[in-house]
Chain A
Amino acid sequence: MAAPAPPRPLARTVHSARERPARRRGRTRLELALLLGPSLVLFAGFVLVPIGIAVYYSLYSWNGFGPLTNFVGLQNYADAFGGAVFRGAIGHNVVIAVLSIVIQLPLSIGLALLLDRKLKGRTVLRMVVFAPYVLSEAITAVIWLLMLQPNGFVDELLRGVGLGGLVHQWLADPGLVLYTLFVVMTWKYLGFGIILLLAGLQGVPPELREAAALDGATGWQTTRHVVLPLLGPTIRIWVFLSVIGSLQLFDLVWIMTLGGPANASTTMASYLVDHGFKRYEFGFGSAVAVVLFAICFVFALVYQRFALRRDTAGALTRAVS
């Protein structure tokens, strides 16, 4: 870049002589508008503006039809937070997020470490493990709905292996339904975590492990002090995706339980759809949407600031050294 510029090619000189700089700048602007314009219009029109409008609607009591006249200020927000159902919904989202980190993450890390060997049939294994992730949540929901029917496949299987005492009303028991849904989520998303972490493990230089082994580190010590820290960026991204996903949980819940029984599995998104589209409370539903958005946004900002920033810094120092 710093090398002295080569003599300008003839074609370009002629070109610029013909087109004066001002005109060229105009042309660049035209090109930019042509290239960026459609995306910006689409993105603003169907992503940004609708979210902005949600903030506006949230200040009204409105059924989605007729003029917006009944301004209620922050009343919708007060109503949402004042209701036990919505507070419960936030709690359910948080429980799912925490369970993901406490159970799914160690499980994926452990399995990825075990599977990160030259096993025969590794390619097939990876494909199989990833399969549930590719199925839509709707199909996943229907599969498990059918398996979890009372006296259905799961119950029969448990009885078959002598664990009949565990048989429960998997989706009808308010104390259990959230955990049942979590198991289904784990089935669907575990492969995603494993594949992500396996990819991360491929980035761990084998020399580092060998050096640790030469220094007399045991396999566990090497894993704990060499491999896991290097997996940090992958783990932090996984946590980010997982929390955002947990906060937005909808399809599985809607198809398997509709948030029931007795709101025991209501999530913010299912609550929002229930009030907005089933009860035509568009103003109130919008307030819920804004709260959901605010929670995701604040989490993303804080996480970006404190967790992901280190990765950028780490990547830089690694690139330099």
Chain B
Amino acid sequence: MAGRRWGLVAGYAAAVVVVVVTVVPLLFVVLGGFRTNGQLNTDPAGLPGPWVWDNYRSVVTSPDFWRFLGNSALIAVLATALAVGLGSMAAFALSRYAFKGREAVYALFTLGLLFPLGVATLPLYLWLRQLGLLENPLGVAIPEAAFSLPVTIVILRPFMHAVPGELEDAAVLDGASRLGFFWRIMLPLSAPALTTVAVLAFVTSWNAYLLPLLVFNDSAHFTLPLGVATFQSQYSQDTARVLAFTALSMVPALGFFAVAQRRIVGGLTGSVKG
């Protein structure tokens, strides 16, 4: 009994430590945005006093922040649509059709789980240059979709495989073709798994740094991660403003996470168990 109580106490102590360590850097950024550079210099770990809104105001009213945000959103939506659209078709083929070489094709896709984007970047860059996709959102969205395909297929295939064959028979009986079955029955049934892979593809693309770094030279095309890093080096003397900029850049990711939390965690643990 006593052991259990101590366990509980230790649990709460661990929870407090973990939360503090996690949250303090985030609070530093958010609160720092409400301070002046003078305040930050004289007392780096202090609280805002008085609270200053100028930094946040200047970020929110500058077109840069919104442009970065828009670019990131556009690229992430494109990459997600491509990865989930094409990935679900491939997963359907790999789970419901018997054909020679099926396992080989599947193995090829799972191999993709190991390929670091970094390895492919040099030829990928030249390839995109040849295709005229540099400085183009598609130049980032298409490769990111390609790199998201493996995880999409690896999660969707077992899910689609588990859908009972009787459902397919019934659909055929009602005159549906196999593609009709895919479109009208399999996709709606797979909605939970589709949401998971969509969230994963979206987050991956949203957070990507290397590919946008290579593809975009013109800051008008920058995505948020690229924009934050550039803003930091550009205004390194104006720490307060960089803090405000960074704090606002965290908002979409954290907000999205709060909404999609279950899907993100579920997707990760699901892929581990699967």
**Contact among A114, A125, A130, A237 for B261, CB-based, below 8 A:** A130
**Cβ contact within 8 Å between B207 and A51:** no
Query: What's the minimum C-beta distance from A27 to chain B, rounded to whole angstroms?
Result: 9
**Given B214, B250, B253, B254, which contacts A277 in the complex, CB threshold below 8 Å?**
B214
The number of residues on chain B lying at the interface, defined by a beta carbon within 8 Å of a beta carbon of chain A, is 97
Residues of B within 8 A of A53 (CB): 123, 127
How far, in angstroms, from A119 to B4 measured CA to CA in the complex? Answer: 12
A20 touches B (CB below 8 Å): no
On whether the beta carbons of A152 and B44 are closer than 8 Å, the reply is yes
Known contacts A136-B207, A255-B229; is-contact A39 B112 (Cβ 8 Å): no
Q: Which residues of A contact B173 (CB under 8 A)?
A: 9, 11-12
Structural contact, A143 and B25, CB atoms closer than 8 A: yes
B119 at interface (Cβ–Cβ under 8 A)?
Answer: yes
Shortest distance in angstroms between B226's beta carbon and chain A's nearest beta carbon? 7
B82:A139 contact, CB within 8 angstroms: no
Say whether A195 contacts B225, CB under 8 Å. no
Are the C-beta atoms of B142 and A251 separated by less than 8 Å? Answer: no
Which chain B residue has the least Cβ–Cβ distance from A11? B173
Q: Is A251 a contact partner of B210 (Cβ separation < 8 A)?
A: yes
Name B22-77 residues within 8 Å CB distance of A: 22-23, 25-26, 28-29, 32, 43-45
B22–A131 touching, CB < 8 Å: yes
> Which chain B residues lie closer than 8 Å to A115 at the CB level?
11, 14-15, 18
How many whole Å from A18's CB to the nearest CB in chain B? Answer: 13
The B interface is mostly helix, strand or loop, or mixed, namely: helix
Residue in contact with A191 in the complex, picked from B22, B114, B143, B169, CB distance below 8 Å: B22
A130 & B44 in contact (Cβ 8 Å cutoff): no
Q: Are B99 and A32 in contact (CB under 8 A)?
A: yes
- Given the interface pairs A47-B147, A131-B254, the reply to whether A11 lies near B207 with Cβ below 8 Å is no
Residue B220, interface by CB 8 Å: no
**A50, A126, A293 pick with most chain B CB within 10 angstroms:** A50
Within 8 A of A (CB), among B172-206: 172-175, 178-179, 182, 203, 206
A157 and B119 contact, CB distance less than 8 A: no
By beta carbon, the residue of chain B nearest A51 is B120
- Given known pairs A50-B124, A151-B44, the reply for A40 and B269 (CB within 8 Å) is no
Known: A138-B228, A146-B243, A196-B269. A132 touches B22 (CB 8 A): yes
**Interface size, A (range):** 35 or more
**Cβ distance A166 to chain B, nearest Cβ, rounded Å:** 15
Instruction: Determine whether B158 belongs to the interface, using a CB cutoff of 8 Å to chain A.
Output: no
Does residue A226 face the partner (Cβ distance < 8 Å to B)? no
- B272 with A196: CB separation less than 8 A: yes
Q: How far is the CA of A244 from the CA of B118 in the complex (A)?
A: 12
Q: How far is the CA of A292 from the CA of B210 in the complex (A)?
A: 16
CA distance A298 to B209 in the complex (A): 26
A286 contacts B243, CB within 8 Å? no
A94-B174 Cα distance, complex, nearest whole Å: 59
- The interface residues of chain B lying within 8 Å CB-to-CB of A199 are 265, 269, 272-273
**B163 sits at the interface (CB 8 A):** no
Does the CB pair A39–B153 fall under 8 Å? Answer: yes
* Partner of B86 from A39, A143, A272, A273 at Cβ < 8 Å: A39
Known: A39-B153, A247-B116, A276-B122. A131 touches B257 (CB 8 A): yes
Question: Which chain A residues border B26 with CB–CB below 8 Å?
Answer: 131-132, 143
CB within 8 Å of B: which A122-155 residues: 125-132, 134-139, 141-147, 149, 151-153, 155
A-B contacts, 21 of them at CB < 8 A, read A11-B172, A28-B99, A32-B99, A38-B89, A42-B149, A45-B146, A46-B120, A47-B149, A57-B123, A119-B11, A131-B26, A134-B264, A136-B206, A143-B25, A146-B232, A147-B25, A187-B21, A196-B269, A251-B225, A269-B118, A273-B121
Which A residues lie at the B interface, using CB under 8 A? 9, 11-12, 28, 31-32, 34-36, 38-40, 42-43, 45-51, 53-54, 57, 64, 110-111, 114-117, 119, 121, 125-132, 134-139, 141-147, 149, 151-153, 155-157, 160, 187, 190-192, 194-196, 199-200, 203, 219, 233-234, 237, 244, 247-248, 250-251, 254-255, 268-269, 272-273, 276-277, 282, 285-286, 289-290, 292-293, 296-297, 300
Which B residues contact A (CB, under 8 angstroms)? 3, 7-8, 10-15, 18-19, 21-23, 25-26, 28-29, 32, 43-45, 82, 86-87, 89-90, 92-94, 97, 99, 105, 108-109, 112, 114-116, 118-127, 142-143, 145-147, 149-150, 153, 169, 172-175, 178-179, 182, 203, 206-210, 213-214, 224-226, 228-229, 232, 239, 242-243, 246, 249-250, 253-254, 256-258, 261, 264-265, 268-269, 272-273
